[in-house]
Structure 1
Amino acid sequence: MDSQYAVLDCLQRNNNLTQRDIARYTGLSVGGVNLLLKKMVRKGLVKLEKVNGRSLRYILTPQGLAEKTRLAYQYIQSSYQQIVKTGRALAEVVAARPEPVARIIFYGPSDEVLEILKIAAGNLHIQHTTVAAAADLAGIDGHGTLVITWQAGEEYQQPQGIEVVNIINRL
């Protein structure tokens, strides 16, 4: 999610946080949090209040709450579009197969993409299983089986003798 949203969310939950606390909760650097807070103060999303000579309190303004809501809505809308797009891509891959697909094997990490793919397979009424390692694909009969991945890079090992479709390349 967006860094600005993460900071606004932290401030909504607790306005007694230091920049270091916000950085720890959001995974951002302290310098990044500092820049974001300055920007949000200028935009009127956050108000500064002096607690004592050295400490400041960051208070979410009504405009900041509205911006947080807008960012959340934008994220949900974008996520839904990606889910629909991924479902369509899977349907196209299945339809393009010369033989009917009896089952799909999802090869990759257990993450959000896997969950989206499981939903898409369910909508297509196709049995599916998941495997996390190339070794788990050894001995699989490729007849009527479609192997789908969403991985790339060094951590991904292409299994030998099995056609694997990377769904990310179809989006």
Structure 2
Amino acid sequence: MEEKITDILIILDREDSPSQRKIADQTGFSLGLVNALIKKCAKKGLVKIKKLNSRNMKYILTPKGIKEKTKKTIDYVKKSYQAINQLQASIEELANKHSKEGKNIYILEERKDEIRNIVQNILVELEVDYTVVDGVENIEETIFDIKENVLYHWNPGLETNFKEAEVVNIFRY
């Protein structure tokens, strides 16, 4: 819930007089949830609600709200940085292990994203050879029937039917 409040505070700080509907669109929250969160923020003294007319309200971030938003943002950045460091260490450990075992490393790329960038940068930095497979549908059955091959992925829903190859979700390592 606190993370959702932070999302609201960030929008209120960034935009001038956003409507609840606009906040809902930007966060993906329901209109009712946005309304409840704004009321909760007002009760905590993070937001001041000013009635403009019978239909429109203005939400003003208070100094306490700015302080809370800043604190939560810093906490989020710290946690994200720790998670990235932990992910990098796991990938390095995996790559070193598989490289020493003489395995061929494949990266399953279903979309170009930040995780792929992290994985590729580490493998390049370690001078470990790898092959990118663009999407599950492009995996050749014969490649993954060989036990010297390992596939790195970060898709939590990936179902695999490979006979011999090792398949590693880098977030579960």
The runs of 5 or more residues in structure 2 that have no matched partner are none
Structure 2 partner of 1:127: 129
Structure 2 partner of 1:147: 151
Structure 2 partner of 1:46: 47
Q: Give yes or no for the alignment of 1:22 onto 2:26.
A: no
The two structures, once aligned, show a CA RMSD in angstroms of: 2.5
Shift of 1:151: 1.6
Identity of aligned residues (%): 33
CA distance in 2 between counterparts of 1:9 and 1:149 reads: 32
The runs of 5 or more residues in structure 1 that have no matched partner are none
Amino acid aligned to 1:146 = V
Shift of 1:93: 1.8
Shift of 1:144: 6.4
Q: Check conservation: 1:147, 1:164, Cα contact below 8 A.
A: yes
Which shows bigger deviation, 117-126 or 19-28? 117-126
Which shows bigger deviation, 36-45 or 119-128? 119-128
Structure 1 residues 41-120: aligned runs within 5 Å: 41-97=42-98, 99-100=101-102, 104-110=105-111, 111-120=113-122
Structure 2 partner of 1:4: 5
CA distance in 2 between counterparts of 1:33 and 1:74 reads: 22
Shift of 1:29: 0.6
CA distance in 1 between counterparts of 2:125 and 2:148 reads: 18
Amino acid aligned to 1:147 = L
Equivalent residue pairs, number: 167
SS at match of 2:75: helix
**Equivalent position to 1:163, from 151, 166, 172:** 166
CA distance in 2 between counterparts of 1:11 and 1:37 reads: 10
CA distance in 2 between counterparts of 1:124 and 1:133 reads: 24
Structure 2 partner of 1:34: 35
Which shows bigger deviation, 7-16 or 90-99? 90-99
CA distance in 2 between counterparts of 1:71 and 1:78 reads: 11
Shift of 1:146: 3.4
List structure 1 segments (4+ residues) > 6 angstroms apart after TM superposition: none
CA deviation profile, 1:113-152 (whole Å, cap 9, x unmatched): 2233223323323234432323423144858653201123
CA distance in 2 between counterparts of 1:63 and 1:116 reads: 37
TM-score (norm 2): 0.81
CA distance in 2 between counterparts of 1:149 and 1:109 reads: 9
